[in-house]
Chain A
Amino acid sequence: DTGVSQDPRHKITKRGQNVTFRCDPISEHNRLYWYRQTLGQGPEFLTYFQNEAQLEKSRLLSDRFSAERPKGSFSTLEIQRTEQGDSAMYLCASSVLAGFEQYFGPGTRLTVT
């Protein structure tokens, strides 16, 4: 399968713990996006990378959130000191540079208890 993959698919954590998610984009896709989706809502943009450079961050991305794409390939999204409000589906998408289509992964569902 050559689509976008995300790991883990599900994560349950206790409030206050740190979590890290991984996204592997489609090979040779320059752009990588992170979105968050809560129940009944459309996905919300968090941040995106062009190669290894983080070019835009949403105001939704508080200082507890950090994203990296160290070698311009896979990306990680870390949430420190998780809160119950962080419970959501975290989606990753990738696209070729200046391409029109974003290809989404299956998402990581985070539950904070």
Chain B
Amino acid sequence: DAKTTQPPSMDCAEGRAANLPCNHSTISGNEYVYWYRQIHSQGPQYIIHGLKNNETNEMASLIITEDRKSSTLILPHATLRDTAVYYCIVRVGDDKIIFGKGTRLHILP
């Protein structure tokens, strides 16, 4: 079973920051937090991952709480192309991915 809990859906206005929460209260010390997204009819796409520290790349920022029991993915300026299902995953670095149902993010024009 997936080790994460995410809201089933969220809305965000175009141009605003999209903040997607994830709970992973049973995360182990050697497990990373990963985010993938899946745009309709495409394969999942890697976004970002982190262990303890906050991370940022060209796509998004990942904020992990100090106790590592939850995290937030931030898309700083959401566009219509960001409409997708976003999966929060915890896993050891090179292990298989166990997906949950994710959060369906709707970007509203």
A interface residues (Cβ-Cβ under 8 A, vs B): 4, 31, 33, 35, 40-45, 48, 56, 91, 93, 95, 97-107
- By the criterion CB–CB under 8 Å, are B96 and A101 in contact? no
- List, in ascending order, chain A residues with CB within 8 A of B85's CB: 42
- List, in ascending order, chain A residues with CB within 8 A of B42's CB: 106-107
Q: Give 22 A-B contacts (CB < 8 Å), ordered by A residue.
A: A31-B94, A33-B96, A35-B97, A35-B99, A40-B101, A42-B102, A43-B97, A43-B99, A44-B99, A45-B97, A45-B98, A48-B96, A91-B43, A93-B43, A98-B93, A99-B93, A100-B34, A100-B94, A101-B46, A103-B46, A104-B45, A106-B43
- Smallest beta-carbon distance B24→chain A, Å: 15
- By the criterion CB–CB under 8 Å, are A42 and B99 in contact? yes
Distance between Cα atoms of A95 and B94 in the complex (Å): 9
B21 at interface (Cβ–Cβ under 8 A)? Answer: no
B87 contact from A40, A42, A99, Cβ within 8 A: A42
- Smallest beta-carbon distance B27→chain A, Å: 16
- List, in ascending order, chain A residues with CB within 8 A of B43's CB: 4, 91, 93, 104-107
- By the criterion CB–CB under 8 Å, are B96 and A56 in contact? yes
- Smallest beta-carbon distance B101→chain A, Å: 6
A100-B94, A103-B46 known; 5 new pairs, CB 8 Å cut-off, are A41-B101, A48-B96, A56-B96, A100-B93, A104-B44
- List, in ascending order, chain B residues with CB within 8 A of A99's CB: 93-94
- List, in ascending order, chain B residues with CB within 8 A of A105's CB: 43
Distance between Cα atoms of A42 and B94 in the complex (Å): 19
Q: Which of B51-109 contact A (CB under 8 A)?
A: 85, 87, 93-94, 96-102
B49 contact from A44, A100, A103, Cβ within 8 A: A100
- Name the residue of chain B whose CB is nearest to the CB of A44: B99
- Name the residue of chain B whose CB is nearest to the CB of A104: B43
